[in-house]
Each structure stands twice: as structure tokens, then as C-alpha cells.
Structure 1
Amino acid sequence: MTDMIVDSAPASGRVARKRAEVRRKLLLAGFDLVGQHGLDAFAVADLTEAADCSKGAFYSHFANRDEFIAELIAHGVETVGVALDRHGAGLPGDEALAVGLRYSLTLAQQQPRWGRFVAAVAGSARPTYTGLGERLASDIARAHAEGRLDYRDAQAVLLLASGTFLAAVIGSGLDMLRPGTPNEATRHLLIGIGVQADRALALTTASLPILIFDSVLVSSLDVSIR
């Protein structure tokens, strides 16, 4: 009887590890499929084939495709966004905006698979899957309230910032960005939406933060690479 109890713990641990590995393989396969084809251009069968597992394995982890996509977004976008939110909470609005854009674009440059994924999510017909636009709008509104931005049309400013971000992450996925592009794109954007040129230069040449987040899809930015 004692032997049976002792043996059950390792077996339970193996089952848990196997389940975790299947879930990880599904998420990694979905990460690449979204980056290559978009959020809505693949079926569960495509996903399970790419992950080399059964449909039954998929449905033992996720109730449906939408639940799977939501977890992909949580691991692939929200984990980075939350870390940036936490860091930017105590910063002036224009600095939080600059850090968020530079960090995201540099991360996309270092990890092109992530850039392709984020571009697909940001350009999807279901924007409720991501808070990228809301985060940009929040930083812009805060900077304006603090007197650091001067504009008449908030929506136009948001479109300009969103367009810069989307163009850059698409470019990162196509290997079009040079080492200094994230900083320069952010600097020109800041100047374009009302930040003084010397302030924009200072914000885009400062060291980027070391952020810690937990994801099976994206790693923290290596800030030693310039």
C-alpha cells in the first residue's frame, strides 16, 4: 500500500508536465499561425496539425477556438502591456508613451516572430482582443492633461501614433528595421504630436527599462543590444 502511494506522486507529476507541454506546443503553433495568416485564417485542425497533437488534446485544454485565441493574446500581448503599464504608471505621460513605443518596437526587432504576431493582432477585425490602442490613447491623454502635448484632435493624434506603431511592427516582421529605427520612429512621432525636439531626443536616447514578465511566447527585451 505504501509503495502505491509513493509511486502515484511521480506519475501525477509526469501527467502535469505532459499536459503543460501539450499546452505550450499549441500556443507556440498558434503564435506562428497568427503571425503568418492572421487571427481568423486557420482552423483548429490546422493548429493541431502544426502542434502535432489531436483535436481531443486541444479540447482538453480549451473550450473553443475563441478561448484559445484569448490565451494567445494574454501570453503574446497583454503580458508585455501589463509590464509596460506597471513601469509607466509613475512616469510623465510623454515618457510613458516613448518607453512603451521604443520597448515594443525594439522587442519586435529582436524577436520578429513577436512582431508578426502583434501586427496580425493589431490589424485584426476584432480589436477587442488587444489593449494596444487603449494604452496609446491613455498615455497620449495623460501627456496632454499634463501640458506636455498640444493638439486639437485627439483622434488624429491616436491614429498617427497607432499608424507609426503598426507600420514599424510590420517592418520588423519583414526585417526592414535598422538598429536605431525604433528610437528614431518614436522621436519623429513625439515631435509630430507636439513634444519639443530636445525633449523628444532625451526621451528616445534614455536607457530602456529591464522588464520582467512571464510568457511562453515572448522573452523580455535584451536591453544590452543597441
Structure 2
Amino acid sequence: MAEVAAPVGRRERTRRRLLDAARELITEKGVAGLRIQEITEGAGVALGSFYNHFASKEELVEAVVGESLSALAETVSRPTGADQDPAELVSNAIRRFVARAYEDPDFARLVVHLEHADALFMSAVWPAAHAALEEGVAAGRLKPLQVDLAVTTILGGALSLMRAIVDGRIGPGAETAYAEMCLRALGLPARQAAAVANRPLPPLVDATG
């Protein structure tokens, strides 16, 4: 008899529980000692259920990291006010993202050293980054030669910079210098780019607010 697939709602709930349990365990003890049995016990599901959702522990870890990156990208790309300068929004998003390598080196190290780090980073962060840059273009503040090319270049550079920071090859302050470089590449005059990139960071907007 063919196996009957679980209802979609139940499958989604089980996957959600596995992701949440894995995230909690990664936060507590990191990835190195993470075991599938611990994850399923934390999620309250049978060990065999794990493989209905993920082919391996590594695939689950990538899913957890991808969700975290997407949430971070959405948060740092959210305008802090109706009249915020679109160039400042892009600059602040770049600064906050790269600064994670200083503020949370364990998470940043996990991100940059994943087997599929580049593809995961790009797919997770792309939607929010692309939308923020499009807003800057629509407002006439940013003038990249080609938006998709600009987003690809900025994200690729941000990941490389984060990798260099956690590996100890780049010192403090790189997030501001990188934001300034990106703004100049996006068409802002040098003095404006420097001024925008060095503005104090405003408080983040609560996603639930």
C-alpha cells in the first residue's frame, strides 16, 4: 500500500517545530555537536520524521540560517521613518549587516563557512536588498548602471567582508567604509556618500509595530 502523505498543515507544523528546535540548540551549543536525535526530541517528533523534511542535518542548518538571514535583511532594510533618505536606508542596511560579524561572530562564522554560503546568502538577502535599492533609484538618489548587477555585487562583497572580519583579516570600522564605497558606486558624490555612511544609526523599527 502506498504511504499516505500527511496533511499539508501538519507537515508545515512539523517542519516548523524542527526548525525552531534546531535554532534553539544552535544558539545554545553551536553546530559542531548538534545531533539529529536532539533536534527531534526538542521538536517533540519521531526521529524518522526528520527525513520527511530534511535530507541531512546540514540541510536543516542551512534552512535555519537562511530564515535568520531573511529576517535580518527585512529588519535592517525597513525604513525608520516616512521621510528617511533612501540612500541612508541602503547605507544603514549595509552597515548593520556587515556589523553582525563584529557583534555576533559565532553566527557570522556559521554563515560564511557553510558549504553553500554564497548561494544561501544571496537567495536569503536578495529580496529585501533589491527592494531597498529600487526605492533609492525611484527617488532619484541612487543611479546604478544596472540594479541586479549592483545588488549582486554589494551582497557578494558584504559576504566576503564578513568572512574577512571573522577570520581576523579586517579590523573594526569596515562596515562604514564599505557602505561609503557602495554609495559612491551607486552614484552618490564622494562627499555625500561619506556624510550618509557616517550618520548615526537610528533605532530599528519593530516589525510588529
- Please report the TM-score for the alignment, with normalisation by the length of structure 1: 0.63
Query: Which residue of the other structure, out of 118, 121, 124, is the alignment partner of 1:123?
Result: 118
1:176 counterpart SS class: coil
Asked if 1 retains the 8 angstrom alpha-carbon contact of 2:78 and 2:205, the reply is: no
Q: 1:186 to 1:122 in 2, by over 3 A?
A: farther
Post-superposition offset of 1:172 = 2.0
Post-superposition offset of 1:201 = 0.9
CA distance in 2, matches of 1:25, 1:82: 21
Amino acid at match of 1:57: E
Question: Which residue of structure 1 lines up, in the alignment, with residue 155 of structure 2?
Answer: 162
Question: Which residue of structure 1 lines up, in the alignment, with residue 63 of structure 2?
Answer: 70
List aligned pairs for 1:35-50, cutoff 5 A: 47-48=34-35
Question: Which residue of structure 2 lines up, in the alignment, with residue 97 of structure 1?
Answer: 90
Question: Which residue of structure 1 lines up, in the alignment, with residue 195 of structure 2?
Answer: 202
Question: Which residue of structure 1 lines up, in the alignment, with residue 8 of structure 2?
Answer: none
After superposition, the C-alpha distances for 1:119-171 in whole angstroms (9 at most, x for unaligned) are: 3465136954x1x1222211111111111122332222222212221111111
CA distance in 2, matches of 1:72, 1:97: 22
Question: Which residue of structure 1 lines up, in the alignment, with residue 7 of structure 2?
Answer: none
CA distance in 1, matches of 2:31, 2:206: 20
Question: Which residue of structure 1 lines up, in the alignment, with residue 71 of structure 2?
Answer: 79
Post-superposition offset of 1:47 = 2.8
Asked if 1 retains the 8 angstrom alpha-carbon contact of 2:25 and 2:34, the reply is: yes
Post-superposition offset of 1:59 = 5.7
Asked if 1 retains the 8 angstrom alpha-carbon contact of 2:65 and 2:111, the reply is: no
Question: Which residue of structure 2 lines up, in the alignment, with residue 114 of structure 1?
Answer: 107
- Please report the TM-score for the alignment, with normalisation by the length of structure 2: 0.67
Q: 1:114 to 1:209 in 2, by over 3 A?
A: farther
CA distance in 2, matches of 1:210, 1:77: 19
CA distance in 1, matches of 2:29, 2:188: 39
Q: 1:192 to 1:85 in 2, by over 3 A?
A: closer
Alignment RMSD (CA, Å)? 3.3
1:181 aligns with 2:174: yes
CA distance in 1, matches of 2:107, 2:135: 28
The higher radius of gyration belongs to: 1
How many residue pairs get aligned? The number is 176
Amino acid at match of 1:48: R
Q: Unaligned regions of 5+ residues in structure 2, if any?
A: 1-19
Q: Unaligned regions of 5+ residues in structure 1, if any?
A: 1-20, 34-45, 215-226
Higher relative contact order (CA 8 A, sep 6+): 1
CA distance in 2, matches of 1:114, 1:68: 12
Query: Which residue of the other structure, out of 133, 139, 146, is the alignment partner of 2:132?
Result: 139
Query: Which residue of the other structure, out of 44, 57, 69, is the alignment partner of 1:60?
Result: 44
Asked if 2 retains the 8 angstrom alpha-carbon contact of 1:31 and 1:72, the reply is: no
